[in-house]
Structure 1
Amino acid sequence: MRYAVVIEQAEGNYSAYVPDLPGCVATADSVAAVETEIRDAIRFHIDGLKEDGLPVPAATSVADYVET
């Protein structure tokens, strides 16, 4: 599956979250590192849902840039 990921710069680090997987988050010192961490977090999150017998949410969010 392919999930949309939002990466935000904070003070001193970057954070990422997945809108379609509530609670699935990651932080790291760089964009590249947070991308790696969120991939691992997505796998871990989905594995946990499956182990608990819960449905894995479909990827429905879309991210894009809009010029103004």
Structure 2
Amino acid sequence: MKFPVAVFKDPKSDFGVIIPDLPGCFSAGDSFENAIESVKEAIECHIEGMIKDEEAIPSPKKIDVHQKNLKYKNAVWAMVEIDLSVLSDKAKIPERILASIDKFAKKQGETRSGFLARAALEFIANH
């Protein structure tokens, strides 16, 4: 699953990163690259906590949706891919269903795990 992240830099501070789709989730780093690496772990920890607390995990919005928010006026945007499969146990799914999932995910430019995680989160968020 890909999350848009907003990166900020003040002249006298490290790079700060906010994940608009995960309120309260943030990170920092002494370089842009370190900030992006650090935010991956922050997102994984945040989502893991949400799963344990049985909270709905929101589907990430597109960057252009967040860019309309003046709060992110001076942000530099990046996309961070998170493998949500590492946060949960493996599910057993019949091969014929997996084949359909793989075919659809490939058309969407996603991995099986990414598609399943996104689909599950969208379903949960809407029910």
TM-score normalised to the size of structure 2? 0.48
- Percent identity of paired positions between Structure 1 and Structure 2: 26
Residue 26 (structure 1) aligned with residue 27 (structure 2): yes
Shift of 1:61: 3.5
User: Is 1:19–1:61's contact at 8 Å kept on the other side of the alignment?
Assistant: no
Q: In structure 1, how many angstroms separate the alpha carbons of the residues matched to 2:52 and 2:62? A: 24
Aligned residue-pair number: 65
Structure 1 or 2, whichever has the larger Rg, is 2
When the two chains are superposed, the root-mean-square deviation of aligned CA atoms in Å is 1.7
Instruction: Structure 2 unaligned segments of length 5 or more: list them.
Output: 68-75, 77-127
Runs of 4+ off more than 3 Å: none
Instruction: Structure 1 unaligned segments of length 5 or more: list them.
Output: none
Q: In structure 2, how many angstroms separate the alpha carbons of the residues matched to 1:52 and 1:13? A: 31
Shift of 1:60: 1.2
Shift of 1:27: 1.1
Q: Residues 34-58 of structure 1: CA distance to partner in whole angstroms, max 9, x if unpaired? A: 0011010000000000000001111
TM-score normalised to the size of structure 1? 0.86
- Aligned equivalent of 1:55: 56
- Structure in which a larger fraction of residues adopt helix: 2
